[in-house]
Chain A
Amino acid sequence: MRRVVGSNYATSHAVMRARVEVIAAYPITPQTQMVEHIAKFINDGIMDCEYINVESEHSAISAVIASQAAGVRSFTSTASQGLALMHELLFSAGGLRLPIVMGVVNRSVGSTGGIWVEYNDSMPQRDCGWLQMYVETNQEVHDMILQAYKIAEDKRVLLPIMICSDGFILSHTVEPVELAEQEEVDGFLPKYEARHSYLDPKDPIASGIVTPREYRQEFAYQIHRAMLEAKDVIGEVNRDFADKFGRDHSGLIETEFVEDAEVILLTLGTVTSTARGVVRELRKKGKKAGLVKVRAFRPYPAERIAEVCKDARAVGVYDRSVSFGVGGPHYLEVRNALFDSDVPVIDFIGGLGGRDVAEADVRSMYDVLLEAAKTGKAKRNIEWVNTRGVVLG
């Protein structure tokens, strides 16, 4: 069914189709519509689900960790301060290997406060044992919620996953979205049967018991291994989804014009759409520009990035958050992926607090990259785009 909807509706609809059985969530701009849509589905009788109207995000994640630990498919969603409040429990979800899916509608974390998109809410959560994927369109949000359960529940993975989408740019912008029918989803994502140990009086387990130093390190190692395995699983699930639904989101990364590209820009989220226009325009002008949309941030597809960028003469990285005094978190990943390359790698920090990243801004990023490709070196490694007091390049 094709409908013109925002990402919060697309997510809620996908959650309903995934036959999620326990949801606990708390309203926060720009995620609020999601808790409203789900409440409406339940009260209209079209969704059959336990819905816990908790008193905070801390309780939301606590409740879904518990319900998932009892072997029931669970969902929560949040943004910004709410994600920060959940932080403590994110480690529990990862550590207990629970395939929870969370919709994160990215928004800056104060102070200074604001309600618009920035990734300084989700980026600091990257080491909690959660998979993280960033999306570009409302269709992709919808599709990734469905894929997320299949990825997280795969026995090679068994880790929680966040689907991160840009606040307002997606949440409050309507687009035509193909909403999956129940039979289609049932054919892709079968009824849930827990593949992890779960709390059951018939077969008691201790879930989350305090673990002394003799044992904890091996648990951490297993999470690391599972995160690496997830790279294959993300690709497999994408292919399976593409076969069944006819929409291919390319798995870990998606590329445009990279085969012969001299300069490549790596993006996350909706800036990709803006960059697509710019890179096509540059191609028309004969400039060898390429684009990589990075979809998976955890696990980070370092090998794929290294392979795609191996013949490039300058690589740019778009960051919508900052690790102060260092650079963007995405930049650090790319530097790691390209550690044995001497190609200039330039970080473009911009769009913070929801500031618009316009075509002109992306064009200026490519200008800097083309110049670096010519000279073989970067004037500066960390560039602040469209920032008062800063001149690019």
Chain B
Amino acid sequence: MRLKLKDLPEENIFSSGHTACAGCGAAMAIRNIAKVLGKEIIIYVPASCLSVFNGLFPSCAWTVPYHHTVFENTGAAISGLSRAMKRKGLDNVTVVGIAGDGGTADIGLQALSGAAERNEDVIYICYDNEAYMNTGVQRSGSTPHGASTTTTPVGKLMKGKQDFKKDVPLIMMAHSVPYVATASVSFPLDLINKVKKAKETKGFRYLQVYAPCVPGWGYEQSKTVELGKLAVECGMWFLLECENGQLKINREPKMKNLETYLKMQGRFRHMDEKQIAELQESIERKWEFYKGYADLTQRLYSGSEASV
């Protein structure tokens, strides 16, 4: 049965009083994610905005067990936690890692890949704000083409990031894990139902959640949700779900209004027509790829419940 927002409990698992910026997409997403996951969980958070805004000793916004050590080991740490729960016979406890996009697409990719290959019984959630925001907006593998960050600044010779966004969800699909999905803070129903499905699935589950960042992207703090919606409309982010190898597109993008999306944000404001055209071309190619991939995998894996 699909969850509605009113089904979520009043009580916060990730409680108020945390220190995220006003309008933080990640904090909003995590609040709802945690409500779906419930209290029988253990959370691991690597170095990230979240590891700071969830409180510093002696305070903590988490009302569930919380573990943190370093930056690049989320996949390994949740593996250790999950195996410990197995030893204790605590099958009811869900082990969840919540990492940023830098901790996922860059420094943590190896440990993530290892955990996925072993099909560890964990949920890995990447909140994707498309740069290293905790250290003050440096580019990550997840930063989109053209975006200005402090390490891909707008200069006389080069303007913004020259490379394209790394497609981590696709990398995770290539690991043949039971569940891979993308979601967005701006589509809470889609988000909470994907979290619910992840929670009800066994084995390795990966969820990447689009999470606009006010200071990093340079927009009005009241526009977080609007911006997230626009991203899905224009094709800068897709809502996808891959279950046992079969990819499904949850929301057909219009593939329009890229420029409106870009112009709302300081990080893209410098982009000229040529750069915008390059970006448009890349996301259209990506969209065609996903449509084809969905068709192909629906055919290949139809009726298949088993491991892909």
List residues of chain A with CB under 8 Å of any chain B CB: 21-22, 24, 50, 52-56, 58-60, 62-72, 74, 88-89, 92, 96, 199-201, 204-212, 215
Rank and list the top 9 A-B pairs by shortest CB-CB distance, nearest first.
A66-B80, A63-B80, A55-B114, A59-B76, A70-B84, A62-B73, A62-B76, A50-B83, A67-B80
* Interface check B236, CB cutoff 8 A: no
Within the assembled complex, what's the spacing in Å between the Cα atoms of A278 and B79?
50
Within the assembled complex, what's the spacing in Å between the Cα atoms of A201 and B63?
9
Say whether B44 contacts A201, CB under 8 Å.
no
Between A and B, 19 residue pairs with Cβ closer than 8 Å are A22-B83, A22-B87, A52-B79, A55-B111, A55-B113, A62-B77, A66-B67, A66-B76, A67-B81, A67-B84, A69-B67, A70-B84, A201-B90, A204-B63, A204-B66, A207-B65, A209-B55, A209-B56, A210-B68
Q: Within residues 40 to 86 of chain B, which ones have a CB less than 8 A from any CB in chain A?
A: 40-42, 44, 51-52, 54-58, 60, 62-70, 72-73, 75-81, 83-86
Say whether B81 contacts A199, CB under 8 Å.
yes
List residues of chain B with CB under 8 Å of any chain A CB: 39-42, 44, 51-52, 54-58, 60, 62-70, 72-73, 75-81, 83-88, 90, 93, 110-111, 113-114, 117-118
Q: Which residue of A lies closest to B90 (CB)?
A: A201
Dominant secondary structure of chain B at its interface with chain A = mixed
Say whether A24 contacts B76, CB under 8 Å.
yes
By a CB distance below 8 angstroms, the chain B residues around A55 are 110-111, 113-114, 117
Q: Which residue of A lies closest to B41 (CB)?
A: A201
By a CB distance below 8 angstroms, the chain B residues around A24 are 76, 79-80
Say whether B85 contacts A70, CB under 8 Å.
yes
Within the assembled complex, what's the spacing in Å between the Cα atoms of A209 and B65?
11
Among B55, B65, B83, B118, point to the contact of A200 (Cβ < 8 A).
B65
Say whether A201 contacts B69, CB under 8 Å.
no
Contact status of A201 and B73, CB under 8 A, knowing A53-B118, A209-B60, A215-B57: no
Q: Which residue of B lies closest to A23 (CB)?
A: B83
By a CB distance below 8 angstroms, the chain B residues around A60 are 76
By a CB distance below 8 angstroms, the chain A residues around B75 are 59
Say whether B83 contacts A63, CB under 8 Å.
yes
Within the assembled complex, what's the spacing in Å between the Cα atoms of A68 and B86?
13
Q: Which residue of B lies closest to A215 (CB)?
A: B57
Interface centre among B41, B66, B87, B118 (most CB of A within 10 A): B87
Say whether A207 contacts B66, CB under 8 Å.
yes
By a CB distance below 8 angstroms, the chain B residues around A68 are 80, 84
Contact status of A71 and B84, CB under 8 A, knowing A210-B51, A210-B52: yes
Say whether A62 contacts B111, CB under 8 Å.
yes
Cβ distance A100 to chain B, nearest Cβ, rounded Å: 11
Say whether B67 contacts A50, CB under 8 Å.
no
Within the assembled complex, what's the spacing in Å between the Cα atoms of A212 and B19?
15
Within the assembled complex, what's the spacing in Å between the Cα atoms of A210 and B90?
28
By a CB distance below 8 angstroms, the chain B residues around A56 are 110-111, 114
Cβ distance A61 to chain B, nearest Cβ, rounded Å: 8
Say whether A212 contacts B57, CB under 8 Å.
yes
By a CB distance below 8 angstroms, the chain B residues around A54 are 76, 79, 114
By a CB distance below 8 angstroms, the chain A residues around B57 are 206, 209-212, 215
Contact status of A208 and B67, CB under 8 A, knowing A21-B87, A62-B73, A62-B77: yes
By a CB distance below 8 angstroms, the chain A residues around B110 are 55-56, 59
By a CB distance below 8 angstroms, the chain A residues around B44 are 66
Within the assembled complex, what's the spacing in Å between the Cα atoms of A63 and B117?
15
Cβ distance B135 to chain A, nearest Cβ, rounded Å: 14
Say whether A52 contacts B118, CB under 8 Å.
yes
Within the assembled complex, what's the spacing in Å between the Cα atoms of A88 and B58?
24
Interface centre among A21, A58, A204 (most CB of B within 10 A): A204
By a CB distance below 8 angstroms, the chain B residues around A206 are 55, 57, 60, 62, 65-66, 68
Within the assembled complex, what's the spacing in Å between the Cα atoms of A209 and B19?
14
Say whether A89 contacts B70, CB under 8 Å.
yes
Contact status of A58 and B73, CB under 8 A, knowing A52-B118, A207-B68: yes
Among B42, B56, B87, B113, point to the contact of A211 (Cβ < 8 A).
B56
Within the assembled complex, what's the spacing in Å between the Cα atoms of A54 and B40?
26
Say whether B111 contacts A50, CB under 8 Å.
no
Q: Which residue of A lies closest to B47 (CB)?
A: A210
Say whether A62 contacts B80, CB under 8 Å.
yes
By a CB distance below 8 angstroms, the chain A residues around B70 are 62, 88-89, 92
By a CB distance below 8 angstroms, the chain B residues around A96 are 69
Say whether B66 contacts A70, CB under 8 Å.
no
Cβ distance B168 to chain A, nearest Cβ, rounded Å: 17
Say whether B67 contacts A199, CB under 8 Å.
yes
Say whether B65 contacts A199, CB under 8 Å.
yes
Say whether B39 contacts A201, CB under 8 Å.
yes
Cβ distance B254 to chain A, nearest Cβ, rounded Å: 41
Q: Which residue of B lies closest to A199 (CB)?
A: B65
Cβ distance B12 to chain A, nearest Cβ, rounded Å: 14
Contact status of A212 and B56, CB under 8 A, knowing A58-B76, A199-B42: yes
Contact status of A201 and B67, CB under 8 A, knowing A52-B118, A56-B114, A70-B80: no
Q: Could you list 16 further interchain pairs (A-B, Cβ under 8 angstroms) beyond the known A59-B114, A71-B88, A200-B65?
A: A22-B80, A52-B83, A55-B113, A59-B76, A67-B80, A72-B87, A201-B42, A204-B62, A204-B63, A205-B66, A209-B56, A209-B57, A209-B60, A210-B51, A210-B68, A215-B57
